[in-house]
Structure 1
Amino acid sequence: MTNEPLAAAESRSRMAKLSSVARQSPATLVLLLLVMVATAVTGGLSGGPSEDVLTAVGLDLDDVWVAWWTLLTSAFFAASWQGMIISLLAIGIGVGIAERIVGSWRAASMFVLGSVVSSAVLAVIVALGTANNDAWLAFLGGNYVVGAFGGGVAALGAATASLNNLWRHRIRTWLLALSVMFALYLGNAESLQLLAGAVFGILAGRLLGTGQRVHTGRLFTRPSLRETRFLLATIVGVFAIGPFLSQITAGFAVGPLSTVGLLTLQARPDTGELSQLCDFDDACMKLQSLLGVSSVGATVLSFIPLLLLVMCSEGLRRGRRLALWTALVINALVALVALFAFVEFLLAPDLEFADLDKRFVVIYILPAVAVPAAIAVLLFVHRRRFPVSSGILAAKNLLRVTVGVAVLVALLYVIMWFSEGNLGRLNVTDLLAQLTHILIPFPLPFVVQLPQGLVSVLIYGFGGALIWLVFGLIAFQNLRLYSADTQKTAAGDAKVRTLLQEGGGSLSWMALWANNAYWYSADGRNAVAYQVHNGVALSVAGPFGVQEGQSGAAGEFVAHCIEQGLIPCFYSATGQLGEALDSLNFDRLEVAEETLLNIEAMTFKGKEWQNVRTALNRADKLGIKDRWYAYSAMPPGIRAQLAEISEEWVSDKSLPEMGFTLGGLDELKDDQVLCCVAVDDDGLVHGVTSWLPVFTKGEISGWTLDFMRRRTDGFKGVMEFLIASAITHFKAQVPMISLSGSPLANADSLGTDGEPSAIEKVLVILGNALEPMYGFKSLAAFKSRFQPMHQTLYMYYQDPLALPAIGLAITAAYLPGLSARQSAGFLRQMTNKEPARD
């Protein structure tokens, strides 16, 4: 009984979501239903449609113009359940996304138009290839083509015209790169139709218009540095996956690059080949299958180039020099291996040049050399766009460890090769060939004899995989490193202080704290303090310095981050910064509410001030006074008590003191930071607050509350007393003070207008996990007793795909140096299903 209401509520929730999807994407839903019904009715889900059905609705590549209506009808049918699933994916992704961007009618119209045009282009291409007896395209004739491939990608390609620069470049790059990869590696009719649809959709969206245009008048705008890196990373990644795709589709792949996998992936010999290599010795065959050339190690070695290039693709996106040179060398080696295989083919004694099909050479052999060579050249030409390195020490460590492992493996193999009696049956030339097999993860253009002996076979099968996995792991770690200079020097500190006194926000003084690095504008009049975590440059508030240059400095800092392969993110910045970032397509998310007090008008009169008056009266009765010091001017006894109170507070928590925008005892030691200490007549410290200065053009214009600690057995209301004392103390100096923001205190309210985003979920989890230990929500409630004004603080981010990385960076910034035990406890708290209570 108790489960029935819950089950009913879940059912209603699912129905509501389905209804919402149907309302938002009616065209997509109709097209999906049409394809499923049409495929089922024509037998596509059983044995496949009959010849008569295919003649009536399928695209006949031999003579499409006889049944011209099939240019469109072919898009709504599938010849098998696998083909139907692919068609549904093309519609669901292509038309579904397009419908959200440009509306139902435009998305559906572009699907229909894209289906017709891509089918016509396919028919024309195949007809031209057949007329010229093309070795590739003529093979495609005589087939019926059905599927929604061209229409789906055409709708998505057209919709990109209505996106901003970032997403327009990215989606077009993905569409074209994947379409070209399928066309070159698979080469079947559907892949060519996919490419035709993608090109047509992009052109049509720009020329015909598919909604609001947000771009310049040029057909293709010049990509930024970040998008150039993204484009090159996509090219490397796509052409790394291509050989693997051609291998798993070898039964029907006919594209120009369908043979590249044979040249770039180590192929495991079949039973017949292994028998010949082992001279039909059963013991040799069994040993090679378990540990040698047909073992798991050989399989891993065959995928090493793919894994390294995929890793390099991510490194290229980050602007990494190591990724550039690794990808360049691998592609150059692939080109050389393909060239050697081509030369060996041409030099074969039984080859008659008169019988050599020139078209076959041009279509299937030359591209295998030209494509990886072109990628290597392209990377070399753009090498200056990848200046980011992990440091000379990291590079030396990578080289030292990899070479050391390679030398050790090779030396051990040579020793065991001789010890296990391979000399005599084989010669030294065979040994060198086997070492080449171990050290180079590509198929060799010459026959390699197999070793004998347990250890020799083991090293032969697993040694190469070990070497390259070690290289890959260390390289992957290096690609994630970023050496931001956080060393504090007297000159650097003085420069930052000078800029802070020119102007900044209420949190800008936190720029002086530990773990921060500094970026300076070109004119040296502004700066940004930031931390690097997980590839994210997380700023401490906004730029500071000369006020007139802060907006420009924000844009310069973004450009600097992109150049360094970092993700720019401004954290706890005011709404004014958003105006400077609008042209850079930044989005924002509320992360805190800053509490501001207009102290000139405060008199502590009225019912709403009852708690504050009670605290002041009680402090007077107990003889507690407020004492104002710089930390260095404090009496030693008070400093000792502050350390005692702080240590007591920290020891009571399961996590260490937080950082980033929350100061600790070390941050009090700045001579320009004021401390207000509540001390009784016996010299006992009951509590302390610290106040950070806020400057405008060299003059203090405000103060910001930071450090707050109270003695566990101190008098109740000590914090109200300290803040009320600060209001009285600062009233004659400045018009306004800030009680700072309460980080993550409003996490539960994020995304209340709809489904929370990824970063909102991270902030909610982080806020709820830390609440029992740090009491952010109760702190926010406490500050509200002073009748403050509120100013929203935002997180500004440019790339929505980077939100998970930003969430991890925020966690690392607030909780630096977690121990393994503390991390485990924090993860348990984050995954606790019970919500945190105030």
Structure 2
Amino acid sequence: MSDTDRVAESAGGPAEADVEPAGRLRSTASAIAGFAKRVPFSLTFAVLLVATAVTTGSIFGAASANTESTWAAGVGTTIERGHWWSVLTALAIPEDPFQLVAGVVLAATLLGIAELRLGTARAILAFMVTGVIGVTIGVLLQWIGSLAGEWWATGTSVDLTLDPLTGIVGALITATAFMTALWRRRIRIVAFAFVLVFVLYDGDSSNVYRLIAGLAGLALGAVLARSPSPLAPRRSSHRETRTLIATAVAITAIGPIVSLINGEELTPFAFSASLFGADVPDSDAVLAECASVASAFCDRQLALLSAQGPGVILLSFLPLVLLLLAAWGLRNGRRFALMLAVAVNIALALLAWFSFDLAATIADGEEWTGFDVGELIVWTVAAVLLPVVMALVLLVFRRQFAIRAPNRAVARFTSVVAGSFVVLAGAYLITALVTIEEFVPDATPLDVLIDTVKRFVPVHFVAAFDPIVVPVHDVTFVLYQLVGPLFWAIFVIAAVPFLSATADRSHARDRARVLANLQRGGGGSLGFMATWPGNDYWFSDDEQATVAYRVVNGIAITMSDPICPEGRDAQTIREFAAFCDRNSWVPVFYSVHDRYLPVFEALGWQHMPVGEETVVATTGLELTGKPWQKVRQALNRGIKEGLTTVWTTWDELPIATVAEINAISEEWVAEKELPEMGFTLGGMEELKDPEVRLMLAVGPDGRPQAVTSWLPTYREGVPIGWTIDFMRRADGSMNGVMEFLIASAALHMKEEGAEFLSLSGAPLATKPLAPGEEPPPATVMTRLLDWLGKTLEPAYGFTSLFRFKAKFNPEYHTISMAYPDPLALPAIGVAIGRAYLPEVSPREAVALVRTLTR
């Protein structure tokens, strides 16, 4: 019997015949096929690009002069010749085979995404409106700028542009107004980062047109959505913030390389690109002429000569490699990656600033007017701006990148990097000093020492700085080319494991031992949380007992009941308390059940309730009678609407479903002004544990409407119960989808032989009184907890969540906090707050206070 059939039977009726069987998720192939059927305009436009490329001949090479003069947009055609139609035709003809391939691929994907969100009619409108606006305003800026003598406008006013990507970018940005917060933010950041990089470092007309089209898309999207809210920033999860920043760093990394490759264009980095130009001076002639003569000409020729050779060229790609390495580390929250990315971006900003001096060095005696100097400064500042902004963003969000490598990994990485630098720098320095008479021009020991440092820096950073000396001796010249690339290759190779080292191997072994103890039994229904990242572990001498804890400001806070064999509760608690005492920590047992309270009372400790766990017995569970009426209504409605359920693990999910769950979670986070909570509340990362199970509510189209995760409780290695952790529902999902999903999970667990289902603890909640039961006498602490519960309700909804769980007619198990010293309560409260909100920023703290005081 499928999960859907069980649901129907318990709900009081048979499953409808056309209900999709449980377990059917959209495969990646079916998702692609369904996508293709819904984007006719995008696929038609891709075919149109091929047709226009064949007709105009650009499928075989660059568009002909006749094609450009007739159909391309630009000052010469659109304005001077009056070809008004060119702002339209430029959007439909690829300029060359490369742009044809890019246009077809992006039309079928990015334009398809836009059409999927906007619908065909509005996608056509967005493509045409933003494309025409981008090209028209771009051409006007070139025309006006060229009349004023502005460098970029003057240099590009003769360009004639064919660019289908302009309309695609504009339509995509327009469509983001109709996307979830996750994809709206991702697409806007990635798209604008790419466009800005090419505007600053390439300088081609089409890139400026795309930027203008993207900005027009923002405005058009807000108009079509009939709300300015799509323009408002939305908060993201810590994981998503790291992903976005890492992506931006990776994209901006390609900027200097684009400029170096495309050195003929007028961009700030084109000056340093001139070092790698085609006009390489003859080395023998330069060395002969400049051996004993110092002049501006010789300085320039030596600067150009010093930039030649395979090693020097390889070293020019160093910023790209280091930023890509940093982006990978930033994605994983690494502090060293943050430091590396900031350092490289500051270096790139300095390079752009010093490009003014470099331009003067290679200017070959040209006369510079005051206007030229002003233009150069403006462009240099523009190039400085991007890396500076990137460095500032990294520093502002530095709290997101707090993961440090263990001390052993730091020592290993430092010794490898420092040792290799000493060896390689020493080898070049000694060889250069031995052959010092074979440098051009004549070099002093100080010149050689400075040049040794320059061997490890990309030449476009230091080529214009004295001394400029070039070795003539063969061995010295080989080391001149080799030591820099070899050192940075060692650095990158050593950094990869360094950025992967999250903890000592012993910590990974500890987690495996914790899991083994859990599987033998112990830890209670919340015990699996002990395996989560961020915990430290205490083990008894025989390793049969475990306590998972976190130390915050000298307070050692446990996460659950002690994980130990039956009968060893008191011994385990006493031994852990002694361990904390030796380390000068205050032990606090948090979220422990009533069976342990006599142990603490015997030790003279205080304890107080901090929440209620709601537990549903699944053995013999029947969803009948009036108490289950609301749940049955949700079940019946779900069956009627074609919902099914899937019991699975993260690793078994199709790629399309993984993306949809990420989007559901991120949308949930984006709807809140408040920081995410941690400690006993898991997030996306905790879903990926292979021991954790997921229960998904799936719509008739194969898309998940709601997601829950379940943590196992073991007895002799077999799960006997499951505790809910992660709960998310998609916008627009069926009302009551969570009731449908949890009830379906309960029936599945019953079928699998599980004994109970826990809906986890409800912090600061109080179980309802039985008929005739008197409430316990109020104390200062119970009044404080009651006040906290009411105060935090607008922010986190603890009380409403507790009422939701009451629909499932659970048993209530009080969970308590035990502590040895009442005088430590203020410090304990602060420590628990920091445990739940370890990465709260000042802005999030203000948002929390604002919410609590409404």
TM-score band, normalised by shorter chain = 0.5 to 0.7
The residue identity in structure 2 corresponding to 1:375 is: M
Superposed displacement of residue 550, structure 1 = 11
- Give the letter for the 2:159 counterpart: N
Distance in 1 separating the partners of 2:310 and 2:62: 38
Distance 1:43 1:562, change over 3 A: farther
- CA–CA separation in structure 1 for the residues paired with 2:164 and 2:185: 24
Q: 1:31 to 1:172 in 2, by over 3 A?
A: same
Contact conserved, 1:26 with 1:104, CA < 8 A, in 2?
Answer: yes
1:176, CA displacement in angstroms?
0.4
291-300 or 163-172, larger mean C-alpha shift: 291-300
* Residue 245 of structure 1: aligned partner: 258
| Alignment match, 2:429 | 414
Question: What is the match of residue 298 of structure 1?
Answer: 312
Tell which deviates more after alignment, 306-315 or 291-300: 291-300
Contact 2:438 2:472 survives alignment (8 Å): no
Partner of 1:429: 446
1:451 equivalenced with 2:467 (yes/no): no
Equivalent pair of 1:126/1:141 in contact (CA under 8 Å): yes
Structure 1 equivalent of residue 778 of structure 2: none
Assess if the C-alpha contact under 8 Å between 2:197 and 2:251 holds in 1.
yes
CA-CA distance at 1:323 after TM superposition? 1.0
Question: In the alignment, is residue 327 of structure 1 matched against residue 336 of structure 2?
Answer: no
After superposition, give the CA deviation of every residue in 1:142-185 in whole Å (9 maximum; x if it has no partner): 43322212111122222223332222211111110001111111
Please name the residue that 1:503 is paired with. 525
Q: Measure the CA separation in 2 of the matches of 1:405 and 1:461.
A: 16
Contact 1:159–1:205 (8 Å) recurs in 2: yes
1:233 is the counterpart of 2:246: yes
Q: Which residue identity is paired with 2:239?
A: R
Question: 2:103·2:165 contact (CA, 8 Å) conserved in 1?
Answer: yes
Report the AA paired with residue 436 of structure 1.
Answer: V
What SS does the corresponding residue of 1:145 show, helix, strand or coil? Answer: coil
Question: Relative to 1, partners in 2 of residues 1:278 and 1:40: Cα closer, same or farther, differing over 3 Å?
Answer: same
The yes-or-no answer on 1:23 pairing with 2:37 is yes
- Following superposition, the deviation at residue 305 of structure 1 comes to 2.0
2:425 aligns to what SS in structure 1?
helix
TM-score of the aligned structures, taking structure 2 as reference length: 0.55
Give yes or no for the alignment of 1:439 onto 2:456. Answer: yes
Q: Distance in 2 between matches of 1:516 and 1:268?
A: 66
Deviations 1:682-736 (A, max 9, x none): xxxxxxxx66665999xxxxxxxxxxxxxxxxxxxxxxxxxxxxxxxxxxxx999
2:50–2:59 Cα contact (<8 Å) kept: no
Where does 1:516-665 land on structure 2 (aligned, <5 Å)? 548=613, 569-574=688-693
Indicate the residue corresponding to 2:480 in structure 1.
460
> What is the rounded CA distance, in whole Å, between the counterparts of 1:35 and 1:55 in structure 2?
19
1:41 to 48, 52, 55: 55
Is the contact between residue 243 and residue 260 of structure 1 (CA under 8 Å) also seen in structure 2? no
The structure-2 alpha-carbon separation of the partners of 1:459 and 1:50, relative to structure 1 and needing over 3 Å to count, comes to closer
CA distance in 2, matches of 1:496, 1:236: 41
Cα distance in 2 for partners of 1:139, 1:158 equals: 31
Partner Cα distance (1:63, 1:70) in 2: 7
Aligned to 1:165: 181
Q: Residue type matched to 1:156 in 2?
A: L
> What pairs with 1:294-373 in structure 2 (closer than 5 Å)?
294-343=308-357, 355=370, 357-373=372-388
For 2:338, give the aligned amino acid.
L
CA distance in 2, matches of 1:47, 1:455: 45
Q: Distance in 2 between matches of 1:155 and 1:169?
A: 15
Task: Determine which of 255, 270, 274 is the counterpart of 2:283.
Answer: 274
- Distance in 1 (CA, whole Å) between partners of 2:340 and 2:50 is 46
CA, structure 1 residues 437+568, in 2 after alignment: closer, same or farther (shift >3 Å)? farther
Q: 1:55-88: per-residue Cα shift (whole Å, max 9, x none)?
A: 5533242463644333223211234334433332
* Residues 350 and 274 of structure 1: CA distance in aligned 2, closer, same or farther (over 3 Å): closer
Is residue 219 of structure 1 aligned with residue 232 of structure 2? yes
Note if contact 1:268-1:298 (Cα within 8 Å) is conserved in structure 2. no
2:422 counterpart of 1:400: no
Tell me how far apart the structure 2 counterparts of residues 510 and 140 of structure 1 sit (CA, whole Å). Answer: 60
Tell me the equivalent position of 2:145: 129
Amino acid paired to 1:449: V
Contact 1:312 1:324 in 2 (8 A): yes
Whole-Å separation in 2 of the counterparts to 1:309 and 1:469: 14
Q: CA offsets per residue over residues 559-610 of structure 1, 9 Å max, x none?
A: 579999968625454556989xxxxx998699xxx9xxxxxxxxxxxxxxxx
**RMSD of Structure 2 on Structure 1 (CA):** 5.3
Shift of 1:316: 1.8
Within 2, Cα distance between the matches of 1:573 and 1:216?
37
SS in 1 for 2:263: coil
What is residue 109 of structure 1 aligned with on the other side? 125
Question: Is this contact kept in 2: 1:237–1:310, CA < 8 A?
Answer: yes
What is the distance in 1 between the residues matched to 2:162 and 2:68? Answer: 8
Question: Per the alignment, do residues 216 and 110 of structure 1 end up closer, same or farther by CA in structure 2, a change over 3 Å counting?
Answer: closer
Letter in 2 for 1:434: D
Distance 2:208 2:723 in 1: 63
What is the deviation of 1:241? 0.7
Cα deviations by residue, 1:300-322 (Å, 9 ceiling, x for unpaired):
22222211111111212222111
* Distance change in 2, residues 1:194/1:307 (3 Å): same
Query: Residue type matched to 1:503 in 2?
Result: S
Decide whether the 8 Å contact of 2:529 with 2:680 is kept in 1. no
Name the counterpart of 1:179: 195
Structure 1 letter corresponding to 2:376: V
Taking a change above 3 Å as real, the CA distance of residues 508 and 456 of structure 1, as seen in their structure-2 partners, is: closer
Going from structure 1 to structure 2, the CA distance change for 1:111 and 1:132 (only over 3 Å counts) comes to same
Question: What SS class does the counterpart of residue 470 from structure 2 fall into?
Answer: coil
| Cα separation, 2, equivalents of 1:404 and 1:79 | 51
- Asked if structure 2 preserves the Cα contact closer than 8 Å seen for 1:32 and 1:91, the reply is yes
Letter in 1 for 2:332: R
Does the CA-based 8 Å contact 2:77-2:160 persist in structure 1?
no
- Higher mean Cα deviation, 153-162 or 420-429? 420-429
What amino acid is the match of 2:97?
A: W
Distance 1:370 1:21 in 2: 40
Residue 203 of structure 1: aligned partner: 219
C-alpha distance after superposition, 1:244-282 (max 9, x if no partner):
11222234x3344444556xxx8499652533454389x
Count residues in correspondence.
Answer: 564
Q: Which runs of 5+ in 1 are unaligned?
A: 1-14, 282-287, 530-542, 580-584, 595-659, 663-671, 675-689, 698-733, 741-838
3-state SS in 2 of match to 1:136: helix
SS in 1 for 2:115: helix
Q: Counterpart of 2:471 in 1: which secondary structure?
A: coil
> For each residue in 1:526-580, what CA deviation from the matched residue of structure 2 results, as whole angstroms up to 9, or x when unmatched?
6999xxxxxxxxxxxxx9987649999x99998579999968625454556989x
Partner SS, residue 95 of structure 1: helix
Q: How does 1:799-810 map to 2 (within 5 A)?
A: none
Change (3 A) 1:430 1:163: same
Contact 2:696 2:706 in 1 (8 A): no
What is the CA distance between 1:388 and its match in structure 2?
A: 1.3
- Alignment identity in percent? 22
Instruction: Please report how far the alpha carbon of residue 451 of structure 1 lies from its aligned counterpart in structure 2 after TM superposition.
Output: 2.3
Q: Is the 8 A contact 1:46 1:80 kept in 2?
A: yes
Distance across 2 between alignment mates of 1:100 and 1:129: 38
